[in-house]
Structure 1
Amino acid sequence: MAGNIESEWVLVPGSARDIAAVRERCRRLVRRRAVWSAGMAAVPIPGVDVVSDLRLFALLIEDVNQEFGLSADQIARLQPQWRMLAYEAAMGAGGMLVGKIVTRDLVTALLRRSGGKLLARQAGKLVPIAGQLASAAIGFAVFRQLGYQHVEACAEVAQQLLAGRMAAAN
């Protein structure tokens, strides 16, 4: 049985160093996608940035989950005890998107939590140039903040799974 547990763990970073490396890679990915979000926010057409953010953020969540071995498919392949631990850790970390199939509604709900900033971003589009720059800055900050929160939730879940693995090995 121990050999079977070990074979399942190839899905999750296997050491604290691996988790830290994946975390940093994912943070870089968040920053790159936030730049794209900011670029779309600067487009003076209302609504284009929202549609773009929904798609970019959904892809980001899927990519980060995959990097940490925490996509819905990867978690489904874990043994039941580890799967339960992964979901409990995700709930404890506040990672509502960890291990989930990302839907437009789920991302919309998350972005809606940052509603005031998004409203300010849309209002900024009404003021030429300065408003577009402000909109881009707000878009970058919101996207980066939400992305970083998800990366941290995934890193925490991976740490808890690693701790559970170490405890089971002893």
Structure 2
Amino acid sequence: MIESREDLDAIKQSCHSMVTRSSGLSAGAAIIPIPGVDLGSDVAILMRLIPRINEKFGLSPEQIESLDTDSKLFVMTAISNTGSKLAGKYITKKLIVTVLNKMGIKVAAKGVTKFVPLIGSAVAGSISFTAMKVMGNRHIEDCYQIALAALEEERLAHEIVIEPEPAKNSPQP
């Protein structure tokens, strides 16, 4: 459970490290000059990465479902407000492919450059690394904003309001 902004910042840093490692794997697959290998590996990488990020931020479907009704409603509204397509969702191959298609230019460019002699594979690898990094970091930022809003909402809900006591020497009506 995320109890403070410091916890949230540590989770964010940990997720950035996961994204960097996954981006390296994506780049490695992109340099293999076989059509479709890189896209297939990107889908597989994202199907593991996105649920792990969601879970670290407390935004997996199971974690959200276990919340009380008010908290669940708040989190679902926060997800909607960020426009996140991946937070709080069951991650499927179809969902990942849809998100990757929105990055279509990068995916198409990566596929074409792979066949340029000598530098093509390196360019494809760098495009793949960058696309995976951008997509992963964007998801982390969405999850961070959602979790931060939920943390602030919880803090406000548990704040104790102390009313001042009436003065002892005040005249009685």
Q: What is the TM-score when the length of structure 2 is the normalising length?
A: 0.90
Residue of structure 1 aligned with 2:113, choices 124, 135, 143: 124
What is the 5 A alignment of 1:63-78?
63-78=52-67
What is the 5 A alignment of 1:144-155?
144-155=133-144
Report the Cα distance in structure 1 between the residues aligned to 2:140 and 2:69, rounded to whole angstroms.
24
Match of 1:59 in 2: 48
The one-letter code sitting in structure 1 at the alignment partner of 2:53 is V
Three-state SS of the structure 1 residue aligned to 2:109 is helix
Q: Percent identity?
A: 33
- Structure that is richer in helix per residue: 1
Report the Cα distance in structure 1 between the residues aligned to 2:87 and 2:73, rounded to whole angstroms.
13
Match of 2:171 in 1: none
Residue of structure 2 aligned with 1:93, choices 76, 82, 97: 82
Match of 1:6 in 2: none
Report the Cα distance in structure 2 between the residues aligned to 1:83 and 1:98, rounded to whole angstroms.
13
Runs (4 or more) in structure 1 with deviation over 4 Å come to: none
Q: Which has the larger radius of gyration?
A: 2
**Structure 1: 5+ residue runs without aligned partners?**
1-9
Report the Cα distance in structure 2 between the residues aligned to 1:24 and 1:133, rounded to whole angstroms.
28
CA drift at 1:129: 2.7
Pairwise CA RMSD of aligned residues?
0.7
Q: What is the TM-score when the length of structure 1 is the normalising length?
A: 0.92
Report the Cα distance in structure 1 between the residues aligned to 2:118 and 2:25, rounded to whole angstroms.
18
Q: Deviations over 1:102-151 (max 9, x none)?
A: 00111111101110011100001111231100000000000000000000
Residue of structure 1 aligned with 2:11, choices 15, 22, 26: 22
